[in-house]
Amino acid sequence: MPDVIRLILDDHEWFRSRFARLAELRADPQAANEVWLGLAARLETHASAEEEHFYPALLQQVEGSEDETRDAIGDHDEIRQGIRRAAAAEVGSDEWWAGIQDAREANDEHLDEEEHDDLPDFLRAASLELRQELGARFAGFEDEHRGARGLSGADKDPDEYVSEHGG
């Protein structure tokens, strides 16, 4: 049974390696675009999976986690804004790379915060059984929405999210 924390960390490693690969493909926009489309879709699938199956549990399990959750949802929105900026630009243009760079910077900051705060807080509070139950749901969500299928990519309001999910 997968632990949701392990699954999130595995995705983070994959994101880092794909962004590093993209930076090597600066001179080959078509190859870069293939990497980017896969990466952008998975960033959305991952963020949505966390919003469905990780942050609601963090809010329930860890007292005072409203601010870190608000921050995380806001970061997801900034990643989405970078994805939309790139999607609206011509592949290989400066504007396209700028959108990718926006997503990369928002993602780097966000992974650091999750790895230093949200994931350790949850690990301390939640039982292995709960982490595995959430892991199964998280993996199921990522399978169902592979390639960002069925996901709108729209921003979520951080305050509304926290009041809706138990803050």
How many other β-carbons are positioned within 10 Å of the β-carbon of residue 75? Answer: 19
Of all residues in the shown chain, the one whose CB is closest to Fe ion is 50
> CB 47 → Fe ion: shortest distance, Å?
6
Residues at the site binding Fe ion, with contacts judged by CB under 5 A:
50
Least spacing, CB of residue 24 vs Fe ion, in Å: 25
Minimum CB–partner distance for residue 95 and Fe ion (Å): 26
Tokens (6 digits) for 73: 């949802």
Nearer to Fe ion, 50 or 66 (CB): 50
CB of 27 to Fe ion, least distance (A): 31
Nearer to Fe ion, 45 or 96 (CB): 45
Instruction: Return the number of the residue (29 or 167) whose C-beta is nearest Fe ion.
Output: 167
Q: Please return the burial class of 127, using the count of CB atoms within 10 Å of its CB with bins 0-12, 13-18 and 19+.
A: exposed
| Range 103-124 burial, b when 16+ CB lie within 10 A, else e | bbebbeebbeebeebbbebbee
- Find out whether 69 and 59 touch, Cβ atoms under 8 Å: yes
Q: Closer to Fe ion by CB, 18 or 25: give it.
A: 18
